Amino acid sequence: MTASLNQAQLSRATDIIAQHIAEGRHPGATLAVARHGEVALHQVAGEARLGQKASEETLWLLYSNTKVITACAIWMLVEEGRLRFSDSVARHLPGFEAHGKGAISLIHLLSHQGGFPNALVPEAAWENPALLREVVCNFTLETTPGSTVHYHPAAAHWVAAALIRAVTGEDHRDFIRARIIQPLGLERELFVGLPPAEQHRAADMHDPSGNGMVPRMPECGPAHRAAGVPGGGGYATSRAMALFYQALIGHGPRLVSPRMLEYVTRNFTGDRPDLAQGFAMHRGLGPHLRGFSDSIRGLGAIAHPATFGHGGVGSSYCWADPASGTSFAFIANTRAADEEWHALRMDTLSNVVHAAIV
SS3 80: coil
> Which residues, other chains included, contact 320 with Cβ-Cβ below 8 Å and sequence gap of 6+?
245, 246, 248, 249, 307, 308, 309, 326, 327, 328
pLDDT tens string 240-287: 999 999 999 999 999 999 999 999 999 999 999 999 999 999 999 999
Q: What integer pLDDT is reported at residue 1 of this predicted model?
A: 44
pLDDT tens string 285-333: 999 999 999 989 999 999 999 999 999 999 999 999 999 999 999 999 9
Q: What integer pLDDT is reported at residue 264 of this predicted model?
A: 98
Q: What is the CB neighbour count within 10 angstroms for residue 357?
A: 18
Mean pLDDT of 340-349: 96
Mean pLDDT of 47-73: 97
CA distance 270 to 218: 35
CA dihedral 221, 226, 229, 235 (to 10 degrees): 90
Identity at 120, one-letter amino acid code: L
